[in-house]
Structure 1
Amino acid sequence: MTDHHKLARLQLSGMLGLVLMVVLLLASYFFYQQWRDYRDGSSVVAEEARLRGQTFLKAYGDHASNSLETLYSQTQDILRQRLREQVDQAYVLADSLYRRHHRRLDDAALQREIVESLRPLRYFGGRGYYFIDTLDGDCVLLPTSPQREGRNLLDNQDDQGAYIMRKLLLSVDNHAGSGFASYRWYRPGETFMSEKIAYSRRFEPFGWLIGGGEYVLNVEEDLQQQALQTLAQMPVGERGFFAVIDQHGRLRQLPGQRGFTLPAALQQQLAATPSQYFVSFSHPAAGGSQRYSAYVALVPSWQWRVVSIIPERELTLSGAAQAQALGEKTRNRVLTTLLILTLAVCLAWLFSVHFSRWLGALIAQYQQRLQASQRQVEDKAREIELTRYMSDSAADAIVLLNAQGRVVYHNEAARHCFCDGNEHRMPELFEERFSGGQHHYVRSLRCCRGEVTLEVSLTGLSYQGEYYRCATARDISARVSHERQQRLAATVFEASSEAILITDADSRIIAVNRAFSDITGYSEAQALGNTPALLNSGRHDAAFYGDMWNHLHARGYWSGEIWNRRQNGEIYPEWLTINQVRNGDDSISHYVALFSDISERKATEARVQHLAEYDFLTNLPNRLLLHDRLQQSLHLAERKQHAVAVLFMDLDRFKNVNDTLGHDAGDELLRQVASRTQHMLREMDTVGRTGGDEFVIILPELSGSAQAGMVAERVLQVLEAPFTLRGHTLVISASIGIAVSPADGSSPEVLLKNADMAMYQAKASGRNAFRFFTASMTAEVSERLLLENQLRLAMAQQQFYLELQPKYHIASRRLNGFEALLRWRQADGSLVSPARFIPVAEDSGVITELGLWVLEQACRTATEWVRHGRQLTIAVNVSARQLTHGDFCAEVARVLRDSGLPPALLELEVTEGTLIDYSGPVRQQLAGIKALGVRLAVDDFGTGYSSLAYLKNFAPDTVKIDRSFVSELQHNRDNAAIVSAIITLARNLDMESLAEGVETEAELAALQALGCDTVQGFLTGRPLAVNDALALCRLQAAADAV
């Protein structure tokens, strides 16, 4: 087949291909449009069917949820109605027995008859029983606990502090003589209490109440079963049903619904979903699996989730007909489009055949002319290509410049040298002065590859009457750079501060630099020809050098620390790096060693290490080094099955030393304590200082805890000897906590923490003692942390209030003041003892804010008394933390100013221990308070140090005698002597004496006989609410007026 015929066929094929392509594009567009319309229509139909199904399913689910909520809302009413019916029956039975037998039986026999008649009776499926109590709170009938019958149950409380019997008595204390009471008690078989409702009626003949009760949870469970039965009878469509997931995430089986389970993952998902949630899932069915749709509705009262479930097939029946009609319409439109496109293709084929024949004849004429011209062009191109190939293959750059200085030609090497786009810089190769012939020179140029050095050969030539210059350039940059590097290496070798030593392959020294001679003391002449063994210090064995050479041969280098010897015999450390130098055949040609003297650096590291691990004041190990040594001792003890003891020691009242003698004396005391402790321990033991006045002793390799106790006892004995500090003789003591591994912990952190807790127990027990850690200490710490968090929450929620205990003058029996007592009632109504929360408040710092609140409330209350004409003092307890935190005196002045209370009516009570332990900071604050005109009182006098010097310095207005002396006043001669001495001391110092905790007339008489001024206690008045205290003030004022 000729080219002419091939071209004709190609033309026809191209035109037909173009037509077919257009047709295919149009067909694709039409078919895609039809498919998209069908897809969108199907989606709309399916979405409408889905929404109708969800609306249908939601209506069933919401109806079921509302029905269960209605059923739950009737719980209390149903329970109360049932209880009323049951108790009324028991009341009728008791009344009937009374009317029948009261004339022939005495009261005791008739009461037994009624009791025994009600004892066996049960209701609510055997759960309920009847009880009888007297109106005084005595139990008459209690079938579940007969042992309680005959006992008074007025003080019986539930787990929320509510008095059960008092609630029952209050429920019948009305005109009807009956009522309901709610409280909490144990359900049968359970160890915790649940809510219970009781109905009682007053039985007048014997002063009884007859009642019965039931747990609310039991009624709820009955109603839940009723709810499940209700749901089982409620259909969802034709084949749908309900499922219930309770508050624990369990599927509750409906009555009559057997064998249906939900997948575990779906059940967990439904249990965690909110209300109004739709979900689909598959469930096994005969012949495969079936898809279901479900709607989740929440029953808030029981925390149930009611799931209405229906097969998806039932929900989508309404959309099937619409989908079928849409498919038929789409099929007809596709067939019509195919018919039109087929007709268009046939017409296009006929047109293409006729057009192709006409175009073929026209192209044949032009083809003959092109063939002749092509042969001439090919001959010229061959000559040019061969010439260019020879030029571009040259390694040197060639540049041709015309007489006008314009580049007319350059080869590939020149283009690579100057890079693309920089041809305008090629004339820089040429010298300005050129007289012809051939000229050679070196020129440095900056091109795209950086600075290059070129060796240039310049010649001239003429062609067709025009003169040209030709430059041939060779890049010699590598040669020049190598020569420069050799000169630089020689300079660096000599000027380096590191010693450099070069040996041949046999380890013979062939070169050393000046630093080598400076460090080793050997001159170059002494070193050349020797081996590096010349510097051997003798501190490393053959194995060390063997490992060095093995590493060097394996990796080609070695680097590390080594000890060598100078020419004068001095041994010094150096950091050495050795590298192999290999030939082209991979054989070793040389070894190059670089080293530097690191003596000064190692000395600096040692000093830094000591500062990091030792306490600067006592030179004892610090916390970091103690932790490391304790860790090592524990590892060793684990291998050898020994015990390790940690002693945490804290000096008692060390703050007083700093406050009275100054911090320099305190530092000297710490150094002497460290020295004494260190000298009485074993060499393997460790004593360190962790900060302040805290020391830690580590005792490894012990056989038991008894040895640790003996060491602690010896430490306390050593510290009992007097210390001499700057001319002062001082006696101190310490408190020690002990934790022993592995019983008290197997890690440093746990042992230190437990020993610290034990130390605080030693302080709490009176100081100058040691205590072993016990597990109960951890529980106490956890309880204190919980109580501290509750304290801060109570402050925010205003759970605190004041009670006021009256104080009476003994001689006149007149009210002369009150003491403000802080009380804490939690949100559940329970009271927290001040003995529990006051110490925690002081330790945590909450006492500063809480104490200020008490002071403000007390002053406002006393101001109210003044407005009613009563000038009574109000006493407020002040803690040591308040006195040492900020400017407490200024706070007192502000509170007095804001409340308007005269200063003489405020009395601040400070414990005797506070005066002793914080004498420095407290003295200034108390002096300022006294200057305001506020009264001061010493609380718990006689229980601590009882220093007369402190009474003289602080000059309180009142001395309070502790309850511990008053309670045994009549029977303990020592107590009587102490109280007499305190009263006499107070009288002689012009102070008021006040006795706390007076509870009997005998105690009051004894105190009056001894000359005590004022008393307070349960005998003269229990703590009162603020309003009751105001009422007492008014009553006293009325009595004074009479």
Structure 2
Amino acid sequence: MSCQPAPDTCFAILDNLPLGAFVLRRDFSVLCWNTLMEDWTGIQRLEIIGRSVADFYPHLAESRYADRIRPLFDGGPSVVFSSQLHHRFIPTSFPNGRERTQHTTVTPLHAGDEIHALVSIQDVTDLTRLAKNARELHAQALREIEERRKAEAQLKLAASVFASTSEGIFVTDANGLILSVNPAFEQITGYSAAEAVGNTPRILKSGKHDQAFYAHIWNSILKEGVWQGEIWDRRKNGEIYPQDMTISAIRDENGFIRKFAAIFSDITERKKIEEQLRYLSMRDGLTALFNRRTFDEELENEWRRAVRSPVPLSLIILDIDYFKFFNDTYGHQDGDRCLRAVANVVGTSVRRTGDLTARYGGEEFVVLLPMTAAADAAGIAEKIRNNVMSLDIEHESSKVSSVVTVSIGVGTIVPSREKSPADLFRMADYALYTAKSEGRNRVVSRHED
């Protein structure tokens, strides 16, 4: 194709093209500008011919495009931009300016001894818009298909969970009538689905909770939509057992409660384990008496109770005489047996509710006696001392007796806000120190005057 300097020839050729087209010289000045470019851009050919295209179409002067176009003027091949030049051209100087999406191809155009660049532009605005709409519709259809697939999968999963979970589940209507139960419900409660459906959850009531407890549950469900906690229920065979339960309100699209769903698990074994752990945390591992931490806590509690209604509080502290020598002579296994035997004497010497015995550390034991006067506490201490001797545990390395003996200190005080449990402990401990100083295997009692 040839385009001579005569503008009319150039225009005649380009105006018949179904594309926007213009011709550039080496310096990027415009040689020809067809009528379709005028329509698209609003730029008349008389305005742009002879001027740099960068003044009107600035993206073509950018290095990423210009550096690819320039080789054409030296005989280089045509350029098809890999990005297809998706360009949004908005001429702000013209009232008929509008956004266009265009694909551009640049080819060499020989004009005598000169080579120009023919820039042909295909307007794909409408095609792009249609393609975009088609893509969006396709994507929306795929999303809807995926959402339906997920919903179906969730329903299948929910049905599978309902049938196979180890937790009991039941669903009621808004009036509390059971609509459905799962197999775990039947296994845990002993009620079959036929027996439960149409009844209310009241068939499970244990009788261990009052009306205030149930009122709190329903208040939480109605206000917050859910209640979670522990509850005691009754199986069909009458057995009462603990449950961990969650009850949720199911609302319709208008916010009205239509159903209630409850999920629960039998926590009988967990409760047993918790009780065992609580027992172990409170007890001395060797003697099974209470440990030091538990004793200190109970001493604080008893002190506060005694302050509210002033009554005497007594504390016994006893220590096995020359126990280190016993261990050195007979070994630690016999030492442990001795500790357990003495602990049994201490534990069986008090029987009243509220009395507390503990291994306080090593060979030291303590007894807390609420509402006990000094004379009564001293009598209990003397009983312990005699019972330990009656064990007749050989102790050849003792400097007191041929059998195991104990020294005992007794303290008695009437608690008040001006005193503290530490005062009682110091009093009993000083009495124990005195018993040891006076020859051991004896009871020394101290109390307030």
For the aligned pair, the TM-score class normalised by the smaller chain equals 0.5 to 0.7
**1:478-557 equivalence runs, <5 A:** 478-557=147-226
Find the counterpart in structure 2 of residue 594 from structure 1: 263
In structure 1, the residue matched to 2:95 is 378
Residue 1034 of structure 1 aligns with which residue?
none
* 1:620 Cα deviation after fit: 1.4
Amino acid at match of 2:406: A
Residue matched to 1:616: 285
Please report how far the alpha carbon of residue 747 of structure 1 lies from its aligned counterpart in structure 2 after TM superposition. 4.1
| Alignment correspondent of 1:765 | 438
Report the counterpart of residue 228 of structure 2 in structure 1: 559
Contact 1:579 1:592 in 2 (8 A): yes
**Match of residue 386 from structure 2:** 717
Cα distance in 2, alignment partners of residues 687 and 376 from structure 1: 100
Q: Which letter maps to 1:484?
A: A
Equivalent AA in structure 1 for residue 183 of structure 2: R
CA root-mean-square deviation: 3.8
| Structure 1 position 700 matched with structure 2 position 363 | no
Q: Deviations over 1:661-720 (max 9, x none)?
A: 333332232233223333332413222112321100101013x43443333333333333
Match of 1:691 in 2: 361
Aligned pairs for 1:389-404 (under 5 A) are none
Aligned ranges 1:652-691 → 2 under 5 Å: 652-684=321-353, 685-691=355-361
Map of 1:736 onto structure 2:
408
Q: What SS is found at the alignment partner of 2:280? A: helix
User: Which of 412, 423, 428 is the aligned partner of 1:755?
Assistant: 428
Counterpart of 1:640 in structure 2 is 309
- 1:1025 match: none
Give the C-alpha shift of residue 507 in structure 1: 0.6
Counterpart residue type for residue 697 of structure 1 = V
Q: Partners of 1:761 and 1:521 in 2: how far apart?
A: 65
Matched ranges for 1:289-328 at <5 A: none
Aligned-partner Cα distance in 1 for 2:176–2:131: 47
C-alpha deviation, 1:409, in angstroms: 5.1
How far apart in 2 are the matches of 1:569 and 1:595?
Answer: 18
1:481 to partner: Cα distance: 2.9
Amino acid at match of 2:188: I
**TM-score when scaled to structure 2?**
0.64
Matches within 5 A, 1:740-819: 740-742=412-414, 746-749=419-422, 751-752=424-425, 754-772=427-445
Q: CA deviation at 1:566?
A: 1.9
For the residues of structure 1 that align with 2:132 and 2:429, how far apart are their CA atoms? 84
How far apart are the structure 2 equivalents of 1:513 and 1:504?
Answer: 16
Contact 1:669 1:723 (8 Å CA) reproduced: no
Corresponding residue of 2:141 = 455
Contact 2:166–2:184 (8 Å) recurs in 1: yes
- Amino acid aligned to 1:695: F
Specify which structure has the higher proportion of helix. 1
Conservation of the 8 A alpha-carbon contact between 1:454 and 1:477:
no
Question: How far did 1:475 drift?
Answer: 5.4
User: Structure 2: which amino acid aligns with 1:645?
Assistant: S
Contact 1:722 1:730 in 2 (8 A): no
Report the 3-state secondary structure (helix = DSSP H, G, I; strand = E; otherwise coil) of the residue aligned with 1:577.
Answer: strand
Deviation at 1:504, TM superposition (A): 0.7
| Higher RCO by CA contacts (8 Å cutoff, separation 6 or greater) | 2
| Rounded Cα–Cα distance in structure 1 between residues aligned with 2:439 and 2:168 | 68
Q: CA, structure 1 residues 773+508, in 2 after alignment: closer, same or farther (shift >3 Å)?
A: same
What is the deviation of 1:562?
1.4
Identical-pair percentage:
38
Deviation at 1:580, TM superposition (A): 0.9
SS in 2 for 1:591: strand
Cα distance, 1:377–1:631 mapped onto 2, change above 3 Å: same
Larger radius of gyration, structure 1 or 2? 1
Deviates more, 1:570-579 or 1:483-492: 483-492
Question: Which letter maps to 2:412?
Answer: V
Q: What is the rounded CA distance, in whole Å, between the counterparts of 1:749 and 1:508 in structure 2?
A: 60
Per-residue deviation, 1:505: 0.2
Residue 476 of structure 1: how far off its partner (Å): 4.6
Tell me if structure 2 keeps the 8 A contact 1:507–1:591.
Answer: yes
Specify the SS of the correspondent of 1:615: coil
TM-score norm. by structure 1 comes to 0.29
Quick check: 1:689–1:695 contact (8 Å CA) kept in 2?
Answer: yes
1:498 positional shift = 1.2
Q: CA deviation at 1:528?
A: 1.5
Shift of residue 586, structure 1, vs aligned partner: 2.3
1:30-79 per-position Cα deviation (integer Å, ceiling 9, x unaligned):
xxxxxxxxxxxxxxxxxxxxxxxxxxxxxxxxxxxxxxxxxxxxxxxxxx
Segment of structure 1 superposing worse, 665-674 or 502-511: 665-674
State the Cα deviation string for residues 479-533 of structure 1 (Å, max 9, x = none). 4433332222222222222111111101111121222122112222222111111
1:747/1:580 Cα in 2 relative to 1: closer, same or farther (>3 Å)? farther
Q: Which amino acid aligns with 2:305?
A: L
1:154-303 to structure 2, matched below 5 A, reads none
1:380–1:671 CA distance, 2 compared to 1 (3 A): closer
- Measure the CA separation in 2 of the matches of 1:557 and 1:572: 22
Structure 1 stretch 527-536 or stretch 754-763: which is displaced more?
Answer: 754-763
Q: Give the C-alpha shift of residue 746 in structure 1.
A: 4.5
Structure-2 change in CA distance of 1:746 and 1:682 (3 Å): farther
- Structure 1 residue 738 displacement after superposition: 3.0
SS at match of 1:736: strand
Provide the rounded CA distance (Å) in 2 between the counterparts of 1:734 and 1:772: 14
Give the Cα separation in 1 of the matches to 2:364 and 2:187.
51
- Cα deviation for residue 408 of structure 1 reads 8.6
Distance 1:772 1:475, change over 3 A: same
Unaligned runs of at least 5 residues, structure 2: 1-45, 48-55, 57-90, 102-123, 396-400
| Mapped partners of 1:743, 1:766: distance in 2 | 31
Structure 1: gaps of 5 or more residues: 1-368, 388-405, 418-425, 430-441, 444-452, 457-473, 776-1042
Give the equivalent residue in structure 2 for 1:155: none
| Structure-2 separation of matches of 1:377 and 1:724 | 117
SS at match of 2:96: helix
Q: Report the Cα distance in structure 1 between the residues aligned to 2:200 and 2:234, rounded to whole angstroms.
A: 14
Aligned residues: 333
Q: Note the 1:879-958 alignment, pairs <5 A.
A: none
* Residue of structure 1 equivalent to 2:77: none
Relative to structure 1, the CA distance from residue 675 to residue 668 in structure 2 (aligned partners, 3 Å threshold; closer, same or farther) is: same
CA distance in 1, matches of 2:389, 2:380: 14
Residue identity in the other structure for 1:379:
N
Distance 2:163 2:299 in 1: 52
Is contact 1:572-1:599 (8 Å) kept? yes
